[in-house]
Amino acid sequence: MFIIGELINGMYANIGKAIREKNKAEIQKCALEQIKCGADALDVNCGPASKEPITDIQWLVEAIQEVTDVPLSLDSSKPQVIESGLKAARNKVIINSVTADPDKLDILVPMAKRHNAKLIGLTISAKGIPKDKDQRLELAATIVADCLDKGFPVEDLFLDPIVLPVNFAQAQMKDILDSIHEFKIISDPSPKTIVGLSNVSQGTNARSLVNRTFLTMAAAYGLDAAILDPLDKDLMDAQITAELILNKHIYCDSFLSAYRKK
């Protein structure tokens, strides 16, 4: 599974403070810790409190690239912020994210194609969060069709079914898992699938347990990638073990330490 570390986000107090004070060391430490714990890429988000997100995201990208060349997932709801981060990026980039709204698709799909970036598509629209699997599939098909029309390679698209907190939307959990499986048969080649994992445990008292249980179940439904906290050792071990059981790793008695090292 492709792991995107979620911790370089201005909504976290330490990262928000580092952005305000332009403290590269704190950002670089967070980047390297996540990679050491198994992150394949790093999400980069200035956070809602940033007063200058266009310059802040450039600063973040430049600071991270001084210490690592892993792909960066540029995370913003504002296309101009994404564009600013792309200008600073030297390495592979993921655009996080586009929705099924035509105005967003018309800006971000060509932007991803222009910059040879991968793209995360959220199955959400101006009407709000989908209420069931059928609505998720309809929105996913809209995103895939738009990518095909614009010549964007669908194999570089990650579809996100929008994971909701289990304490708020428990009845939707099975639909979300089914959507992960069914997204893969929308087109050939098929899009990849991704979740923002921490959403599922938002507001619960056992966040790590809820996260790792959902992740292992999602892996069985064919999940390709997740944005998560790689510093949660139990979560990362659960992901490795799930893929072992799914025959994606070769068993040995020391499989955890072996696959932690990749």
Phi, psi of 177, rounded to the nearest 5 degrees: -65, -40
pTM assigned to the model: 0.97
Per-residue tens of pLDDT for the chain, all 262 residues: 999 999 999 999 999 999 999 999 999 999 999 999 999 999 999 999 899 999 999 999 999 999 999 999 999 999 999 999 999 999 999 999 999 999 999 999 999 999 999 999 999 999 999 999 999 999 999 999 999 999 999 999 999 999 999 999 999 999 999 999 999 999 999 999 999 999 999 999 999 999 999 999 999 999 999 999 999 999 999 999 999 999 999 999 999 999 987 6
> What is the rounded distance in angstroms from the CA atom of residue 49 to the CA atom of residue 236?
30
